[in-house]
Amino acid sequence: MKEWEIVIGIETHVQLATRAKIFSASPTAFGAGPNLQANAIDIALPGVLPVLNKTAVEFAIRFGLATGSDIAPCSIFARKNYFYPDLPKGYQISQYESPVVVGGELAIQVGKETRIVRLTRAHLEEDAGKSLHEAAGHSPRGKSGIDLNRAGTPLLEIVSEPDMRSSAEAVAYARALHALVRWIGICDGNMQEGSFRCDANVSVRPLGQRDFGTRREIKNLNSFRFLQQAIDYEVCWQIATLEDGGEIEQATVLFDADSGETRAMRSKEDAHDYRYFPDPDLLPLVIDRAWVDRIRAELPELPAAKRQRLVSDYGLSDYDAVVLTSSQEMAAYFESAVAVAGKSNAKICANWLMGELSARLNREGREIDATPLSASQLGGLVARIADGTISTPVARQVFDALCEDSGVSADEIISRRGLRQISDSDALEEIIDAVLTANRTMVDEFRAGKEKAFNALVGQAMKASKGRANPHQVNELLRRKLS
Amino acid sequence: MIASNLQQLAEALIRKTISSVELTQLYLDRIARHDHQLNAYITVDAAASLAQARWADQRLAKGEGGPLTGIPIAHKDIFCAAGWRTTCGSRMLDNFVSPYDATVIRRFAEAGAVLLGKTNMDEFAMGSSNETSFFGPVRNPWDVSCVPGGSSGGSAAAVAARLAPAATGTDTGGSIRQPAALCNLTGLKPTYGIVSRWGMIAFASSLDQAGMLAPSAADCARLLNVMAGFDERDSTSLDRPTEDYCREIDARQADKPLAGLKIGLPKQFFGAGSDPQVMRLIEAAIVDYQTLGAEIVDTSLPNMDLSVAAYYVIAPAEASSNLARFDGVRYGYRTPVYRDLNEMYSRSRAEGFGAEVKRRLLIGTYVLSHGYYDAYYLQAQRIRRLIANDFAEAFRHCDLLLGPTSPSTAFKLGAKAADPVQMYLSDIYTIAVNLAGLPGVSIPCGFADGLPVGLQLIGNYFSEARLLNAAHRYQQSNPWHLRLPPAFAE
């Protein structure tokens, strides 16, 4: 049996988080009643004209700068002509032959390994509206409705080179892209609402063959899980087809999330002739250097640069750096916490953020921007752990208390509840003597050679101190007294 | 009153020798009396017009008048006007009432003008005779068995018969200048981009330009002052300083008012193919221009012969896309019976569009198709650049170019209706100007067998003031434009 190589390229429609649409002043907010966010331009009344939203262009430039792409000094909006009820003008305005962003690359993390995926281009276009179909049973023949709220929403279509070789890489690419567009603030990343949708071009070829196999394009995958499932299914199907002596026909396919299968929607033969031509209502989009430079200056530190800095400045591992730069909010939280806790305590901050806090957020289904405790609260807590004021078990108590009250600091909780760690030898000795008196059996067992009994005694001492005893000192004192 | 020009009307209104309501009613009465012979109007709404006239009278009473306050103006039914049926001459929009104003309509309203009615036109501005309108052909006031030209034929017939003091039009390949020529009017197609296209129903976006038809060049200048100006809602609108297009016209009359002006005669305008009677009048006008002090020089536009062919690729290509929105889904005509979506589309469009529109949509769809795009559309765009370069070259040594507007006088209704190519050739002298985006004006220069003949002047970009002044000085000494068609002179 042959060995097969999988080849994947991804086209992503990123909905740009502009307030107004790309060619009209209508708002883009999600969830309004049908057609309430569709003005004369969006419904394509006779005589209306498009005017380009400059913010959408700025967002495209931001993306280009963040991926090391070329920003085209002049790009062209074309008309893609086809009839569909949710396409009011009978054409979609989209950049075709000359896109605004050309080339570039994106680093992706596959397990412990970093790989580079090249980008072909990114271009601006408008979204279509939505067709809503009444269930056929509802009336004799189900009616269809059109909602044009989404019509004219700005999209950046980002096209990768066919550089991915597994569904895991495809997902890693999609995740990295998703993180990046949110990081640079051009997309809200909300996949349920369709703000980030992927099409995967999938083909297979015998390992070692230079030419690509025939590809099929899986449309509209709006979750990472579906992306993975769809590609896995498609790859198995293509390999099985070829091994059975069949041929792959170029086609557009849809992924059915219920069955987990892909099925052909249209083949190459019935592909549309879109009759692209430059839109005479819009001038060529001219971008001068000064505009690009201004946007570059306003760009936040990018995730790759920040990752490097976290490793070199704070001595974090690559893995920690990747997790902490999964979003700008996460990174900002981390850095604010470190600012309070002190640079030397960065690793402890990272551990608490990625451990205790992330677990809590996961449990509650929240993101870091809806955290129950502020970065300075966490930083204050870490500072008290690091300087030995509180023990780890006590720190968990303080953490929980901080989560309940955003107005209070770790120090206040510690003093109010008297949680300061007991490191004073006299006080500790008193506690230990009491424990030894009360647990004669255990002492005897230890003396008889049962090492476990020692741990039990430490536990008793900790318990007697309500967790405040310095465990290290308790250990030492006990050993001395029992020897 | 119907012999008054716009300046005289404005003065009469300010002096209150007549009110806007009286003036508007006068024109409404003329429409009621005469328009059954001409079919120049698609929609007249006396109540709406008179309401606007009353408002104008209130402003005049307070001395708040603008340049056109109280003057009734007819608008080609291609301009969307809020609350008005706006049909574009098509069954497709027979029932369409616009919820918004075109910028041109808004600017007229702000200048105080009264909207007198919406004029007939070739369907979606596609035609040179006004015979393709869903609302029936328009007739020429100089001979009602003849066409008025097109596509702004309703505006031309209305103003020629003085069923309006002036009217707006649009010019994609000659649609203002050719009907102006055929109806003894002055018609200006301004530089592409100086009048907003917002609210003007698109035929071929890169060529369409709004302008006006009026008796005199001075009237056109007054109207252009109102219409021209940057509009942020039209991305192809040009942001440039405001101009007073009357400034040269209003300047003092010299003995040789056009001394120093160089007028070029492109030899392509003077070859065979035009009616000899038309050419005799053009030659006479050239002599008149010399008398006014202009210097006449020979020049050439070597690629002009390719303009009709290039135009009939570019304009239909853009139209095929611009008219895709008329699909029966959201507004306009929808076929009453259909089984599925495709049938709804095809029947709505088959029934909603007329033959000429369908012909051009098919041509446009074809030339943009995969495999033909380079050979047709791109090639036509190259020719377009060559033609623009020809003009640029000519304007290096001429201030204006002069020639006939149309190769013939008005032809009989139906004479060219069966032969689209013959019809397309009626615009042979006007189309190149649109391809280059230049301003052009047609002015009356005499009569052949009782039918008006038009002279075309073409200027460089933004030279409207000079162009209109050259037209005005000619009209001062050659007042052909003051003649009225006998049947409508009363």
How far is Cα A340 from Cα B260, in angstroms, rounded to an integer? 81
Give yes or no for A258 touching B (CB within 8 A): no
Which range, A299-313, A431-445, B325-339, is most confident?
B325-339
| The predicted structure's pLDDT at residue A429 | 84
Is B297 a residue whose pLDDT tops 80? yes
Does A37 lie in the same domain as A183?
A: yes
CB B482 within 8 A of CB B215: yes
* ipTM metric: 0.96
How far is Cα B140 from Cα B178, in angstroms, rounded to an integer? 13
Q: Which two structure tokens, joined as six digits, stand for A339?
A: 């600012």
- A83 to B201: CB separation less than 8 angstroms, yes or no: no
At the second CATH level, the architecture of B6-257+468-488 is Alpha-Beta Complex (3.90)
Which of B330, B340, B342, B343 to probe by mutation at the A interface, max A CB count within 10 Å? Answer: B330
Of B324, B326, B341, the CB nearest to A91: B324
| The predicted structure's pLDDT at residue B424 | 87
- B198 to A40: CB separation less than 8 angstroms, yes or no: no
Q: What is the DSSP letter of A25?
A: S
Nearest CA in chain B to A52: B235
Nearest-CA neighbor of A345 among A410, A442, A414? Answer: A410
- Secondary structure of chain B in HEC code, one letter for each residue: CCCCCHHHHHHHHHHCCCCHHHHHHHHHHHHHHHHHHHCCEEECCHHHHHHHHHHHHHHHHCCCCCCCCCCEEEEECCECCCCCECCCCCHHHCCCECCCCCHHHHHHHHCCCEEEEEECCCHHHCCCCCCCCCCCCCCECCECCECCCCCCHHHHHHHHCCCCCCEEEEECCCCCHHHHHHCCCEEEECCCCCECCCCECCCCCCCCEEEEEECCHHHHHHHHHHHECCCCCCCCCCCCCCCCCCHHHHCCCCCCCCCCCEEEEEHHHCCCCCCHHHHHHHHHHHHHHHHCCCEEEEECCCCHHHHHHHHHHHHHHHHHHHHHHCCCCCCCCCCCCCCCHHHHHHHHHHHHCCHHHHHHHHHHHHHCCCCCCHHHHHHHHHHHHHHHHHHHHHCCCCCEEEEECCCCCCCECCCCCCCHHHHHHCCCCCHHHHHHCCCEEEEEEEEECCEEEEEEEEECCCCHHHHHHHHHHHHHHCHHHHCCCHHHCC
Q: Which tens digits make up the pLDDT trace of B372-400?
A: 999 999 999 999 999 999 999 999 999 99
Q: Which tens digits make up the pLDDT trace of B88-132?
A: 999 999 999 999 999 999 999 999 999 999 999 999 999 999 999
Q: Which two structure tokens, joined as six digits, stand for A390?
A: 């509180």
CB B368 within 8 A of CB A277: yes
Which of A130, A279, A281 to probe by mutation at the B interface, max B CB count within 10 Å? Answer: A281
CB B438 within 8 A of CB B391: yes
B143 phi-psi bin (left φ>0, alpha ψ -120 to 50, beta other): beta
Q: Which of A417, A444, A469 is the endpoint of a domain?
A: A417
- Please name the helix (run of DSSP H) or strand (run of DSSP E) that holds residue A9, with its range, or none: strand A4-15
Q: Which tens digits make up the pLDDT trace of A423-464?
A: 777 888 888 888 888 888 888 888 888 888 888 888 888 888
| The predicted structure's pLDDT at residue A140 | 55
How far is Cα A450 from Cα A420, in angstroms, rounded to an integer? 32
Count of other CB atoms within 10 angstroms of residue A10: 28
Point out the least confidently predicted range of A410-414, B138-142, B238-242, B243-247: A410-414
- Upper half-sphere CA count for residue A136 (Cβ side, 13 Å): 0
How far is Cα A317 from Cα A92, in angstroms, rounded to an integer? 47
Point out the least confidently predicted range of A8-12, A163-167, A259-263: A259-263
Nearest CA in chain A to B364: A275
Q: Which two structure tokens, joined as six digits, stand for A231?
A: 């590609």
Q: Which residues does chain B have within 8 Å of residue A277's beta carbon, measured at their own beta carbons?
A: 317-318, 321, 368, 373, 377
Spell B405-436 as b/e; 16+ CB within 10 A means b: bbbbbbbebebbbeebeebbbbbbbbbbbbbb
How far is Cα A280 from Cα A293, in angstroms, rounded to an integer? 29
- B331 to A45: CB separation less than 8 angstroms, yes or no: yes
Is A200 a residue whose pLDDT tops 60? yes
Does A149 lie in the same domain as A17?
A: yes
Which residue has better confidence, B336 or A111? Answer: B336
Q: Which two structure tokens, joined as six digits, stand for A395?
A: 């720190």
How far is Cα B152 from Cα B133, in angstroms, rounded to an integer? 11
A109 phi-psi bin (left φ>0, alpha ψ -120 to 50, beta other): beta
- Residue A461's identity, in one-letter code, is A
Residues near A87 by Cβ (< 8 Å), separated by ≥ 6? A128, A129, A151
Does A170 lie in the same domain as A26?
A: yes
Q: Which two structure tokens, joined as six digits, stand for B221?
A: 């200048």
- Upper half-sphere CA count for residue B26 (Cβ side, 13 Å): 18
Give yes or no for B379 touching A (CB within 8 A): no
Q: Which of A259, A292, A325 is the endpoint of a domain?
A: A292
In the predicted model, what is the mean pLDDT of residues B293-309? 97
CA distance B423 to chain A (A): 26
CB B251 within 8 A of CB B473: no
CATH of the domain at A453: 1.10.10.410
Q: Band of the pLDDT at A137, cuts 50, 70, 90?
A: low
Q: How far apart are the first and last CA of chain A?
A: 70
How far is Cα B243 from Cα B257, in angstroms, rounded to an integer? 21
Indicate the angle between helix axes A289-298 and A54-66, nearest 10 degrees: 70
Nearest-CA neighbor of B93 among B482, B353, B280? Answer: B353
CA distance A70 to chain B (A): 25
Q: What is the DSSP letter of A149?
A: S
Backbone angles phi, psi at B134, to 5 degrees: -65, -25
CB A422 within 8 A of CB A462: no
Backbone angles phi, psi at B264, to 5 degrees: -95, 145
Beta strand pairing call for B295-299 and B262-266: parallel
Which range, A105-119, B153-167, B241-255, is most confident?
B153-167
CB A295 within 8 A of CB A62: yes
Does A369 lie in the same domain as A432?
A: no
Does A262 lie in the same domain as A217?
A: yes
Domain that holds residue A443: 425-482
Q: Which residues does chain B have within 8 Å of residue A93's beta carbon, measured at their own beta carbons?
A: none
Q: Is A121 helix (H, G, I), strand (E, B) or coil?
A: strand
| The predicted structure's pLDDT at residue A472 | 80
Dihedral sign (CA A67, A69, A75, A78): negative
Count of other CB atoms within 10 angstroms of residue A269: 8
- Residue B237's identity, in one-letter code, is S
Residues near A433 by Cβ (< 8 Å), separated by ≥ 6? A481
How far is Cα A470 from Cα A171, in angstroms, rounded to an integer? 46
Residues near A113 by Cβ (< 8 Å), separated by ≥ 6? none
Nearest CA in chain A to B203: A47
Q: Which tens digits make up the pLDDT trace of A233-246?
A: 999 999 999 999 99
Which residue has better confidence, B279 or A448? Answer: B279
Which of A26, A49, A86, A92 to probe by mutation at the B interface, max B CB count within 10 Å? Answer: A49
CA distance A259 to chain B (A): 29
Nearest CA in chain A to B369: A275
Does A144 lie in the same domain as A270?
A: yes
Q: Is A452 helix (H, G, I), strand (E, B) or coil?
A: helix
Give, in degrees to the nearest 5, the angle at Cα B180 between B225 and B41: 90
Nearest-CA neighbor of B27 among B56, B4, B11, B8? Answer: B4
Q: How many CB pairs under 8 A join A and B?
A: 99
Is A64 a residue whose pLDDT tops 90? yes
Which residue has better confidence, B1 or B119? Answer: B119
Residue linked to tokens 């790989």: A115
Q: Which residues does chain B have within 8 Å of residue A90's beta carbon, measured at their own beta carbons?
A: 321, 323-325, 327
In the predicted model, what is the mean pLDDT of residues B241-262? 91
Nearest CA in chain A to B373: A275
Nearest CA in chain A to B78: A47
Q: Which residues does chain A have within 8 Å of residue B198's beta carbon, measured at their own beta carbons?
A: 47-49
Domain residue limits, chain B: 6-257+468-488
Q: What is the DSSP letter of A98?
A: S
Nearest-CA neighbor of B180 among B486, B370, B452? Answer: B452
Q: Which tens digits make up the pLDDT trace of A202-234?
A: 999 999 999 999 999 999 999 999 999 999 999
Does A195 lie in the same domain as A80?
A: yes
- Residue A200's identity, in one-letter code, is A
How far is Cα A236 from Cα A457, in angstroms, rounded to an integer? 59
How far is Cα B410 from Cα B448, in angstroms, rounded to an integer? 10
Beta strand pairing call for A261-267 and A251-256: antiparallel
Give yes or no for A449 touching B (CB within 8 A): no
Q: Which two structure tokens, joined as six digits, stand for A67?
A: 């991926």
Q: Which residues does chain B have within 8 Å of residue A282's beta carbon, measured at their own beta carbons?
A: 235-236
| The predicted structure's pLDDT at residue A389 | 85
Percent of chain B at pLDDT above 90? 93
Q: Band of the pLDDT at A347, cuts 50, 70, 90?
A: very high
Does A245 lie in the same domain as A383?
A: no
Q: Which of A271, A292, A313 is the endpoint of a domain?
A: A292
C-alpha distances (whole Å) from B386 to each of B376, B393, B431 are: 15, 10, 14
Backbone angles phi, psi at A100, to 5 degrees: -75, -30
CA distance B201 to chain A (A): 4
Of A40, A49, A88, the CB nearest to B197: A49
Give yes or no for A77 touching B (CB within 8 A): no
Q: What is the mean pLDDT of chain B?
A: 96
Q: Which two structure tokens, joined as six digits, stand for A345?
A: 């305590």
Percent of chain A at pLDDT above 90? 64
How far is Cα A280 from Cα B206, in angstroms, rounded to an integer? 5
Is A141 a residue whose pLDDT tops 70? no
Please give the tally of structural domains in chain A. Answer: 3
